[in-house]
Amino acid sequence: MLSIDRTSPVALSKQIEDQLRHLVERRALPAGARLMSIRQLATQLAVSTNTVVLAYDRLVAAGIIDSHGTAGFYVRTRSDDGRSAPDEAALEAGEEQEPVWLAQQANDQRAGVLLASSGALPPTWLQDAVPATAVQKAIANSTAGMASRCPPQGLPELREHIALLLQGIGAPIDAGQILTTFGGTHAIDLICRSFLQPGDTVLVEDPGFFLMFGRLRQEGIRLVPIKRRPEGLDLDALEAACREHRPRMLFVQTALHNPTGWSSSAANLHKVLVLAQQYGFLIAEDDVHGHFQQAQSTRLASLSGLDGVIYYSSFCKALSPALRMGYLAAAPALLKVLMRAKIHSVMTTPALNEYVLLEVLRAGNLRKHLDRLQRKIMAARSASARQLSAAGVHFEQPGDAGIFLWGTMPEGLDVDLLVQDAYRNKILLMRGAAFSANDTPDRHVRFNVAFSQHPRLSKYLQERLEAVAAVRRSSLIFTARHG
């Protein structure tokens, strides 16, 4: 059914993608049809499995096929009009700069929408991270099967394994200092409930994690943005804010900052700790993206020994969004307050989720999985940066690793209008202003490298940016002639 032309300048993965797309369009592969497995197709065409994975990933991103986990890949089933019926609780499209709306779009994964600014990886990149046998063993090894209960602090053995991971990045943390959560956003929620009150001042990075801003404002918190630079926080601005506002807390991402991908230097973090001790504020260190880092960098948790630092991370992005598992680490006095907040809000995390994660960590496969994931991300970074740069996007200071590229759009382009037009063309982009606590104008766009390597995005951007450049050239010529 498929053939490969090795003399063609077209990449092998693109040849596979185009042929499968054509078969679906003319219904030679009908809706619901099961595709060959990655290994079967790779063997038939005598190509690497990575070549087939790339083709399948692009077809999934384009909404042409679906991944059903271990069951394989299937041609997407569409309704008669080719559109899914909207959910009654769906937020309005007119709210497209609303962070909650953006988060919903990225997780709803609507048919045909290219999630070019998503904060997550494609399902196909993670579907083998938690094998079905781990779920079976988790139930078999649990204390009472599906009737098992979980201690509010988390399973002791699971916390032991998490402590080993933290010791691997230089953080001397033991199991007694760890509290399991539903992920990073749950950790932020517990910190807000535990240590912040209406009227408190909190320092946040600019740019920074957009959903956190809304959560803090729900508590009546006053946000003071601090400029984020490639080496870390702007220390002069941080010290000035400390003197003026006497903050209660600082939220900071030290490794693979979202959205820029930058990692803080050890010298920068040391000064942050000095200022925290001098002015008496707590630090909440977000390390959700640390799993994607190949070369380890310094963390505040390791420098401080958790003195005045609450560290949190998650397995959702790098391992399994289905498990929704993360954790907090803090000194005992702070951890007790956090655990009370957890009990009040959700009682505990599900025993099944914790036993499954325990089996995955116990099997020792996490390191191999992360190594494979990091290699795929680095390849995607290279491809995305090359294609987006050719389309006219500029990258002044790209990070070294991670799933994000922080691209600058040309002068004269209205980024808000671009984002709106992109969504009408089924491409989800996030403007830089969405990552600012003050929603200040910004020419940046966050790109997810796993999805942004898709030619559909670079083609779209090239057409739009060339049109803007043409208008600017015409304006310059008019000014030169009549100015």
User: Cβ(330)–Cβ(177) under 8 Å?
Assistant: yes
Cβ neighbours of residue 131 closer than 8 Å, sequence gap 6 or more: none
Q: Which tens digit of pLDDT belongs to each residue from 262-308?
A: 999 999 999 999 999 999 999 999 999 999 998 788 999 999 999 99
Q: Lowest mean pLDDT: which of 21-35, 81-95, 421-435, 462-476?
A: 81-95
Mean pLDDT on 441-459: 96
Q: Dihedral of the CA atoms 413, 418, 421, 423 (nearest 10)?
A: 170
Query: What residue type is assigned to position 259 of the chain?
Result: P
> What is the CA 369 to chain-centroid distance, rounded?
17
What pLDDT sits at residue 89?
A: 54
Lookup result for tokens 């992360």: 370
- Reply yes or no on domain 132-364 having CATH 3.90.110.10: no
Percent of the chain with pLDDT over 70: 93
Instruction: Give exposure, 386-397, as e/b (b: 16+ Cβ within 10 Å).
Output: ebbeebbbebee
The total number of residues written for the chain in this structure: 483
Task: Please check the confidence at residue 203 and state whether its pLDDT lies above 90.
Answer: yes
Mean pLDDT on 73-80: 73
Structure tokens, 23: 């078969």
The rounded distance, in Å, linking the Cα atoms of 402 and 405 is: 8
Helix (H) or strand (E) holding 191: helix 184-195
Q: Which tens digit of pLDDT belongs to each residue from 81-92?
A: 344 444 555 555
Q: Which tens digit of pLDDT belongs to each residue from 393-422?
A: 999 998 889 999 999 999 888 999 999 999
**Span 95-119+372-482: which CATH code?**
3.90.1150.10
Nearest-10 crossing angle of helices 132-141, 351-363: 120
**Beta 404-408 vs 444-448: how paired, if at all?**
antiparallel
Task: Please check the confidence at residue 477 and state whether its pLDDT lies above 60.
Answer: no
**Domain residues of the chain, as ranges?**
12-75, 95-119+372-482, 132-364
The rounded distance, in Å, linking the Cα atoms of 151 and 191 is: 19
In this structure, the number of other CB atoms found within 10 A of the CB of residue 460 comes to 21
> What is the CA 173 to chain-centroid distance, rounded?
25
The rounded distance, in Å, linking the Cα atoms of 468 and 462 is: 10
CATH class of residue range 12-75: mainly alpha
Phi, psi of 304 (to 5 degrees): -95, -20
